[in-house]
Every structure is written in structure tokens, then in C-alpha cells.
Amino acid sequence: MPSICVLKWGGLGSVLTTRPFLQALRDRFAGLHRIIYITTASNAPLVERLGLVDQIFMLEPRGFRIIPALRLTHRLRQAQTSIFFDLQIHTHRRLAQTVARLSGASRRFGFFRPRESIPPHCHGVYANPFAPVDQLYLEMARLAGAPPPRPKHIRPLGISLGDEEKARALLHGWLTPQERLLVVNPNASATALVRRWPIPRYAATLAALLREMPRLKIALIGSDRERAYVETLRAMLPSEKTRVKNVAGLTSLGSLMALIARADCVLSNDSGPLHLALALDVPTVGLFGPVHPDHNARLGRPERKIILYHPVLCSPCVHHVAKPPCGGNNHCMRMISPEEVADACRVLLSNPPHGSRDALPEWRFTRYGPDADALRAIAGMRADPSAPCTTPSM
């Protein structure tokens, strides 16, 4: 059976935005092609829990070594890769394109920008930096003959009984059935620390909620590397130390997902845990600044999320400039006040939630219009997406 290959590096949020795209491929090509997903080792457990791919191949773009890449392309040729989707938009694009060209795929799809020096794939989608990422992926699937899936038909994330047992063990003896659980992630990826809302503002917000809600418990999450940073937040709430628990570094991906799914509300910066909460349809308060929320915060039902974002002239900057114009003094995040964050958490912690203030417009993204062939011609690509590419020998 021939294979379809999907390549996507990045963080957890990047992988989660590919779910509708993968569902579209699964709906269209099930029984005809296997689906192979290329990503990093850290993302592989999440890709497996998507339940939408047949094989996972791993390649690390950082610290790139040529031998693993050649081994990968050899495996792709052995798997009879016929279609290759390069989903890299911002980073490691030359490497991704090289892997695609050496994969043996007769049809290769990717993104292009008219003024960039990287030559485009022969079939592509304009990498509009202001469009929702999931919609760009779906446009690529449509060009390959896979229509978008209906939202309710997208396979849910897999959480095992073992994951749920580990999450319960973290909460055992601390959280009672009568209490509400707020899961808080004050962290952000090390590649974009400007996404973090200041710790003192988190402390002010949580202190206010704890005063007003005697049955509220707060679990602070993060990776093992982030545990010390998370502990600085817990230490700012000394009078409530029995009601605030630092579980950073104590969760696997699965138990973190189970913990988030158990939460009555999740409060987070733009990060992997935020996108997990949105994908799990948990009531979520998301804090955005250096990245526009329209770009990749479209998971979850609108009535179950509140996205706080105060646009300034230099936002969004992540993905567009090498260094933030503010020099790291993230003014866009500092414009978010503790009062409005506390208010958003109150709304979603009410049982049941009594409404939401979703800052995101409901996009109605239109596929390429009648000038699509001209657009692709300008980019030097084939106008017919069903036409084969020139496949290099190996």
C-alpha cells in the first residue's frame, strides 16, 4: 500500500492544529494509503494519541545530522511515499523541503511566500501569516482532493485509564469532590518566553480567586525544567499553600492531559497546555500577546473559552521577526490586567458556566478563488495539484 507523509515540527500546539487536516486525509484516503507523520521525539506521544496516523517517523531539526536524514528518506522510499505534505511555515523550511524532495513522493505540497528565496514545492498554498493555521492546512488537503471534515467528526484525543489513574493519584487526599479545580500554566516555550504573563500578576489573580472561592483548589503545571519558576508563583501565595499545589515536572503527557480534562477551568499563556485544554474542550482562559489568537487558538467551542488579547502596534511579532521589538519587555502581555483575568476565570468557574466573551471572530475562510492558477504560476508551481512533481533519484 502506498503512503502519504506529513511533516510537522514544532511544539504540542503545532501538532494539535494538524488534527482537522489529518482527519481530512483519513476520511479521504483510508484503505488506500497509509499515513506517516514525521515529527520530533518529544511530539511523538501526542501524535500517537491523535489516533489518525499509521506510523510515526522521528527526525530532530535542531542539531541536524545528515545520516539520520538519509536513513529517514530511505525509509520513506521503502514505504512507497506517493504524496508528501510539508506543513512547515516558519522554521526549518529548507530541511523539510529537502526531506520532501528525497522522499520519492510524486506529489509534494507545501507553503510559499512570493518574496522568499526558498524555492516552492510544485503544489502549494500561500503562507498567509495572518490566516488561521488550521485553515491553511485544510486548504492544502483540499488541493490534494481531501475536503475538510465536519468539526464533530474529528477524532477525540486519546486518554487512557492509566493516564486518569496517574492524574487521580496527584489529586488524592488534596482535592475533594465538592471542590473546584483551576489548573494554571504560567509557562511558555523557551523559544518565545515573551509569551509569559508576569508572575506577580498571576499571584494577584490567584490570590483574589482564592479569597472569593473557599472551595477552590489550584494546581500549577509545567515541565521539570519549569518547576523552579512555577514554585516562585506558589511561594507568592504563602497563606494559601495548602490550596495551591505545584505539580510541575510530576506529570507525563498522558497524565497532564487527564489532569487538564479533570479541571473545571484552565488558565494559561499561549503554550502547549493551553492548546491541549482547548482541544479537550475544557473551559479555558487564554492569554495572548506576541502571537495573534486568530492564528492558532481556534480549537474548542467558543462558549467554553475566553481569549484575552490587547493588540498593540508591534503585535504579533513571534514568527515574524528574529527579536521582539520590545526587547523582551512584553508590553502586549502586561496590558492584560489581573482584574480581567480573575473575572474571566470567575465566569468559567461558575457551575455551569454562564456565558463567555470570546475575542475570536468566527472565520469563514474561503478557498482559493478563480485566480488560483495565476497565483500558483507566479510562485513557479504547477497549476494542476494532481500533476506529479519531478522526483529526484537517490
Quick check: is 104 in a domain?
yes
Lowest mean pLDDT across 178-187, 196-205, 262-271, 368-377: 368-377
Is a pLDDT exceeding 90 seen at residue 199?
A: yes
Residues 195 and 255 in one domain: yes
83 and 206 in a common domain: no
Tell me: do 106 and 177 sit in the same domain. Answer: no
Q: What is the pLDDT of residues 154-195, one digit of tens each?
A: 999 999 999 999 999 999 999 999 999 999 999 998 878 989
Residue 246 and residue 142 share a domain: no
R_g of the chain, CA atoms, integer Å: 22
Question: Residue 24 domain-assigned?
Answer: yes
Q: Are residues 222 and 149 in the same domain?
A: no
Q: In total, how many domains does the chain have?
A: 2
Confidence of residue 380 (pLDDT cuts 50, 70, 90): low
Query: Which segment of 201-210, 239-248, 304-313, 317-326 scores lowest on mean pLDDT?
Result: 317-326
Average pLDDT over residues 352-372: 50
Is the pLDDT score of 365 beyond 80? Answer: no
Residue 253: per-residue pLDDT: 97
**Sign of the dihedral through C-alpha 248, 250, 256, 259:** negative
181 and 279 assigned to the same domain: yes
What is the structure's pLDDT at 360?
44
Q: Please report the pLDDT score of residue 188 as a whole number.
A: 92
* Residue 268, beta-bridge partner list: 185, 286
pLDDT, tens only, 69-78:
999 999 999 9
Q: Is the pLDDT of residue 120 over 70?
A: yes
Q: Is residue 193 part of a domain?
A: yes
Q: Using DSSP bridges, classify how beta strands 216-220 and 305-309 pair: parallel, antiparallel or unpaired.
A: unpaired
Looking at the fold, whether 217 and 238 belong to one and the same domain comes out as yes
DSSP code, position 192: G
Domain assignment present for residue 110? The answer is yes
Question: Does 360 map to a domain?
Answer: no
Same domain, 138 and 23: yes
Evaluated on CA atoms 274, 279, 284, 287, the torsion sign reads: positive
pTM greater than 0.75 (yes/no): yes
339 and 200 both lie in a single domain: yes
Would residue 390 count as lying in a domain?
A: no
User: Residue ranges of the alpha helices (H) in 79-118?
Assistant: 93-102
Q: Which of 27-36, 245-254, 343-352, 368-377 has the lowest mean pLDDT?
A: 368-377
The answer to whether residues 311 and 211 belong to one domain is: yes
Q: Is the pLDDT of residue 362 over 50?
A: no
Q: Give percent of the chain with pLDDT exceeding 90.
A: 68
Q: Cα(175)–Cα(216) distance, rounded to whole angstroms?
A: 9
Does residue 355 form part of some domain?
no
Report yes or no on 129 lying in a domain. yes
pLDDT for 140 beyond 50: yes
Q: Quickly state the pLDDT bin for 375 (edges 50, 70, 90).
A: low
- CATH number reported for the structural domain that contains residue 172 in this entry: 3.40.50.2000
pLDDT of res. 371? 59
Q: pLDDT value at position 376?
A: 58
Residues 6+ apart with CB under 8 A from 340: 308
**pLDDT at residue 393 in the model:** 47
- Per-residue model confidence (pLDDT) at position 354: 47
Whether residue 355 has pLDDT greater than 60: no
Per the structure, the complete domain to which residue 259 belongs is given by 161-349
Same domain assignment for residues 135 and 194: no
Instruction: Supply the mean pLDDT for the chain.
Output: 89
Residues 98 and 148 in one domain: yes
Residue range 44-56: mean pLDDT, rounded: 97
Q: Model confidence at 356, in pLDDT bands (50, 70, 90)?
A: very low
